[in-house]
Structure 1
Amino acid sequence: MTKQLINYGKYYKRRCKYSLNFKKILIFILLGYLILKTYIGLLHYENGLRPSKTRLKTVLNPNLISELNSDWLNEDLKFDLEKNDLETDNFDNADAMINLEVDLILNNSETRNDLQKVDLQNDDLQNDDLQNDDLDDILTDDLKYDLENDIVTNIENDLKVDPSEIKKTKTFENPDHRINRKYCGSNECKFLFAYCVMEQETRANLHFLTFTQIALKLNRIIVLTNVGDSRIRTCKPFSFDFYYNIEFLRKRFPNLKFITQNDFRLWTKERFQKPNTDHTLISIGPPFTTEILNFSSSYRKNYYKNYCLNKFDLNFDEKTIFKTINVKKSVNMDDIRNFVIKNSQTDVEVLLYGHNLRFSLFDQSSKMEYAPHLLIAAKEVSKSLHPYIAIHWRMETGNNEMMPGCATKLVKRIKALKYKYGIKNTYFATDYPLLGERSQSSTFRNITAFHYKAMGIIKSSPILFKNWTSINIIKYLKNVNALKKFGEKFEQELGKELTGPGIQGIFDKLILLHSDYFIGGPAGCCRTTSSFTNYITNGRKILKEKNKKIKNIYTQW
């Protein structure tokens, strides 16, 4: 009879979802049964239920076996000592069995303790209402049901769960965690997105390295912003690896994670709860100060549109913080760096980063390495030109009226060098618009008659000045199989890229770098020092130690 009570209790526990006090209630029922045994016996008889022979074996303390003697048992009750089993062939003796079981249980403290430890699991779970088919609908991917052992296990932390409790709890994994793991490798994603890097490619190259180091300090994944037209900005058409070698960044920053702008966009699209954001701008101002900016909804909307941030499903609302961190170039850059890092701490998932700096916060021993397909194509161009003299003339920063005289002086100097070294080819890199009316520099807009006259002198000279247009650089690019990954749209965008500043500026640098002789303009004709020139001269110092064919590092005409 005890087993019936327990089975009933087990049944009602699942159906009615009893609390943890269920076992106490079971003890109360057993005690009450001493008074109601006749009624319960009749009820069991009407339902065709027999007292269990095996239940006594599970609840009876083995120490009580010796106490079972003939004084306790009548002729129809049999106790099998070997099997530890009490049974009867006469159902009329059910009451006697019940009396014996209850007496044994209640008159022994050890047995009462055993009863409290009774496992209420069903011995045949397949026949219960909580079967495998039901479990499949209840369990999440993190839970696994072991039918043989009747155990539910949490795979991630090996936590064992009582199956009878599953329908009570019905715990589900946050679907965004699965999306985060897909893109970030963990349940939590935190990004730094430098959506608009100031200045043209040579300087932007250094600025982006600053952002990677900030991301590393903040323990955030950095978004590899798109590129194009000599810029690193969200609105540009090419992925980051069109200009730069991502593997170089991974080796230089092994503890930093990277994500492409397109993958970052997909992450925002797939998220159910859209990522929250803060906006930080590093600006030139009173050093070691910050300011929270308040913008109207219309201003925010236009701002996001102008910088193409509306491409991403980010949570932009009135709660989005716009903070300005003011710095100034100083001898003690460590203090400035620490101030920026401290004031960039935030719990938001996406930290949007902007700046208007013209200097780097971190010491940059080297720039980002260019993409392999650009290096290969530039190497092929240089190989076809060797030996050659390379000229760099940035007209934008020169004295306009001096332009024709500078051109005449340049032609004279090239003639002398060709005669001295026996070099036939020359390569001419300039910001003057060689193709159409668009300058090769996005900031060179004031092209005067003096500039046109200077270029006329160069073109009319007997010296053949080759440049990126005359040698058809696009032909070398198409020969690189790596470019196929950019797809059909790449062909259309590449044509636009080659008509202005951008990839041709990178080619110019690489071809000037590997020239046999390199010259630049004197004061008045152009700016004598620049990041562009420094990149070439620093590289040539290294190359000259290994390549004896290089005649000089840098000379002005």
Structure 2
Amino acid sequence: MVLQLSSTRKKMFPSQIMKNSFSLLCFSFLLWLISYSFYYKHELLSDQNEVSLTEIYHTSTYKSTLSNTSSITSLNSLEELNKKFCGKPTCKFLFAYLLGEQETKANTHFRSFSQLAEKLNRIMILTNVGSSRIGTCNKFPFDFYYDTNLLQKEFPNVIFKSENDFIFWLKERDQIKMTLNNNVNKNIISPLSILHTSIQSHKEDTYYYNAETNFDKNKCISKFEPLMNLEDPNNSRVSYTKMFVKTTDLIRRRAKFSKLLTKVFTIDEEILLVNGRVAYPLFPEITPVIPYNDYILNEAQRLKDKLSSSYIGIHWRLESSIPELLPECVQGLIKTLNKVMKEEGIENIYLATDYPLSSRSQSSTFKNLSHYHHDAIKTLNETFKINTWVSLGGLEQLKENNQYDKELNGPGIQGILDKLVCINSNYFISGPKGCSRVSSFTKAIANERRDRIKNNDHSLLNTINRWEP
């Protein structure tokens, strides 16, 4: 493994050190005078507004304590804000604002970055979700997909904050900065300190280096402006780096790599802003899947009940199948279904697929549909009664609200619902290579079913079977 670290620090001569030390002494004396004149007042404010960490730990909305700007008198104001928000005088965040995979893999990667936040003792931002992604471009809060209370139990040493919480902190910090700096006409509060980095999978060596300004800048970061403006040096002091990670380092040498990763990102910047595009987990300890929101779990149970609690689950991902093979593929599926239904006495079938059940495919990357795809699904529907999340009336409450139209007419929350219904199926089958894309979605279903069978869940008759074309 090769990890190249570059540095731009310059050596200083003794005369420069003396000059800088004198300037620092003068500045410290001035700051002491300002702080001393308001010392008694700040002690009262501190006692009056003290909030314990446990009181705000699971709070997603905060009330400003800065309505009276005259109370903002020194660096103590910023320290008090930070203590109330993150339990210590200085807040440090890890914000993985873009995870370049669909939900199943993004779920894994978010857990990896939560592990990194724990190692670095940083607050982990609960990035927005939507369209089967975890990324700040999406408009729904993290708990639209996930159970944040159970996530907190999995990571008891990590403080999690929503994007709205993060915006609150930015706003309060900005108000303190403007008031203090204007009052004394000095930069008492410095610009935000940010390291913007990209962590990407790579075929060659693992290495880390300084990057060009505004590389890979995601347009959605602009939604935090003017509170966090990466292009305004008066607002944010930003440095840019990139890390390329050799795939084999994440498979064979993950423990060694994770130590280097932690060492590299042990930094002083307030915000570690991460664009993550990695293929495998970053740490050797694989934590459980982030639990889903109760609403989705209840919907999965409701659909299971509609299927009389006995059904075959099929995951047929048509993307990357060979179109010309699909006539044979669907006949192989029909043959397998007839066999299982006869041997196991199961009458109901549930299909999870990326084939468009509404206006768009449930995979954002599946766009080239042909008559082979349409004919295969038509043949299947003409042979059996095929149930889907649409035909069973899944997520009806969301359908009643037009703010969820985009989410439900493409890849989104229904993918999670499909996954859960297939996990709960009595018998589960998926397509072979050539007929179906072998996906992480299918593997996640099989892994969960395997764990349940090991724990003596006798309602599951198999882990996964693949039909033959």
Instruction: Please state which band the TM-score falls in when normalised by the shorter chain.
Output: 0.7 to 0.9
Task: Determine whether 1:390 maps to 2:307.
Answer: no
Q: Deviations over 1:494-518 (max 9, x none)?
A: 2221111111110011000011111
Which of 397, 400, 404 is 1:494 aligned to? 404
Residue 306 of structure 1 and its aligned partner are, at CA, apart by 4.3
Identity %: 38
Task: Determine whether 1:185 maps to 2:87.
Answer: yes
Task: Determine whether 1:205 maps to 2:107.
Answer: yes
User: How far apart in 1 are the matches of 2:321 and 2:86?
Assistant: 49
For residue 465 of structure 1, what is the aligned residue in structure 2? 386
TM-score, L = length of structure 1: 0.64
Retained in 2: the 8 A contact 1:143–1:154? Answer: yes
The higher radius of gyration belongs to 1
Task: Determine whether 1:432 maps to 2:352.
Answer: no
Task: Determine whether 1:418 maps to 2:341.
Answer: yes
Task: Determine whether 1:279 maps to 2:196.
Answer: yes
- Worse-superposed segment, 227-236 or 304-313: 304-313
Task: Determine whether 1:344 maps to 2:265.
Answer: yes
Retained in 2: the 8 A contact 1:269–1:313? Answer: yes
The structure-2 alpha-carbon separation of the partners of 1:315 and 1:189, relative to structure 1 and needing over 3 Å to count, comes to farther
Secondary structure in 2 matching 1:417: helix
For residue 242 of structure 2, what is the aligned residue in structure 1? 324
Higher relative CO (Cα under 8 Å, sequence separation at least 6) belongs to 2
For residue 450 of structure 2, what is the aligned residue in structure 1? 541
Which of 166, 172, 175 is 1:270 aligned to? 172
For residue 25 of structure 2, what is the aligned residue in structure 1? none
For residue 120 of structure 2, what is the aligned residue in structure 1? 218
User: How far apart in 1 are the matches of 2:410 and 2:452?
Assistant: 29
Secondary structure in 2 matching 1:369: coil
Which of 503, 528, 532 is 2:441 aligned to? 532
Secondary structure in 2 matching 1:208: helix
For residue 238 of structure 1, what is the aligned residue in structure 2? 140
User: How far apart in 2 are the matches of 1:539 and 1:233?
Assistant: 25
Q: Deviations over 1:448-494 (max 9, x none)?
A: 22111111212222x1100011111123769xxxxxxxxxxx93332
Secondary structure in 2 matching 1:444: coil
Q: Deviations over 1:351-391 (max 9, x none)?
A: 10112211111131422111122112211211221111111
User: How far apart in 2 are the matches of 1:315 and 1:496?
Assistant: 29
Task: Determine whether 1:377 maps to 2:295.
Answer: no
Which of 117, 125, 129 is 1:227 aligned to? 129
The structure-2 alpha-carbon separation of the partners of 1:542 and 1:290, relative to structure 1 and needing over 3 Å to count, comes to closer
Residue 230 of structure 1 and its aligned partner are, at CA, apart by 0.5
TM-score, L = length of structure 2: 0.76
The structure-2 alpha-carbon separation of the partners of 1:194 and 1:171, relative to structure 1 and needing over 3 Å to count, comes to closer
Retained in 2: the 8 A contact 1:203–1:531? Answer: yes
Retained in 1: the 8 A contact 2:38–2:73? Answer: no
Task: Determine whether 1:453 maps to 2:367.
Answer: no
The structure-2 alpha-carbon separation of the partners of 1:517 and 1:155, relative to structure 1 and needing over 3 Å to count, comes to closer
Which of 196, 199, 212 is 1:294 aligned to? 212
Q: For 1:26-425, list aligned pairs within 5 A.
A: 139-143=40-44, 172=74, 174-272=76-174, 273=177, 275-285=192-202, 286-295=204-213, 303-308=217-222, 310-311=224-225, 313-316=227-230, 317=232, 319-328=237-246, 329-330=248-249, 331-363=252-284, 364-385=286-307, 386-425=309-348
Secondary structure in 1 matching 2:94: strand
User: How far apart in 2 are the matches of 1:521 and 1:357?
Assistant: 26
The structure-2 alpha-carbon separation of the partners of 1:182 and 1:409, relative to structure 1 and needing over 3 Å to count, comes to same
For residue 11 of structure 2, what is the aligned residue in structure 1? none
Residue 241 of structure 1 and its aligned partner are, at CA, apart by 0.8
The structure-2 alpha-carbon separation of the partners of 1:204 and 1:187, relative to structure 1 and needing over 3 Å to count, comes to same
Q: Deviations over 1:74-123 (max 9, x none)?
A: xxxxxxxxxxxxxxxxxxxxxxxxxxxxxxxxxxxxxxxxxxxxxxxxxx
Task: Determine whether 1:508 maps to 2:422.
Answer: no
Retained in 1: the 8 A contact 2:95–2:124? Answer: yes
User: How far apart in 2 are the matches of 1:551 and 1:495?
Assistant: 36
Q: Which runs of 5+ in 2 are unaligned?
A: 1-36, 51-71, 178-190
User: How far apart in 2 are the matches of 1:203 and 1:138?
Assistant: 51
Q: For 1:3-18, list aligned pairs within 5 A.
A: none
> Which 4+ stretches in 1 moved above 4 angstroms?
153-156, 170-173, 306-309
User: How far apart in 2 are the matches of 1:502 and 1:278?
Assistant: 31
User: How far apart in 1 are the matches of 2:429 and 2:222?
Assistant: 40
User: How far apart in 2 are the matches of 1:556 and 1:204?
Assistant: 25
Secondary structure in 1 matching 2:445: helix
Task: Determine whether 1:442 maps to 2:356.
Answer: no
Secondary structure in 1 matching 2:378: helix
Retained in 1: the 8 A contact 2:321–2:435? Answer: yes
Secondary structure in 2 matching 1:271: helix
Task: Look up the equivalent residue of 1:500 and give its one-letter code.
Answer: G
Secondary structure in 2 matching 1:507: helix
Q: Which runs of 5+ in 1 are unaligned?
A: 1-135, 145-152, 157-169, 479-489
Task: Look up the equivalent residue of 1:188 and give its one-letter code.
Answer: T
Residue 138 of structure 1 and its aligned partner are, at CA, apart by 8.0
Residue 409 of structure 1 and its aligned partner are, at CA, apart by 2.1
Secondary structure in 1 matching 2:434: coil
Equivalent pairs counted in the alignment come to 384
Residue 155 of structure 1 and its aligned partner are, at CA, apart by 12
User: How far apart in 1 are the matches of 2:367 and 2:152?
Assistant: 38
- Worse-superposed segment, 196-205 or 246-255: 246-255
The structure-2 alpha-carbon separation of the partners of 1:217 and 1:137, relative to structure 1 and needing over 3 Å to count, comes to closer
Q: Deviations over 1:523-548 (max 9, x none)?
A: 210134x3212211121123234332
User: How far apart in 2 are the matches of 1:193 and 1:154?
Assistant: 31
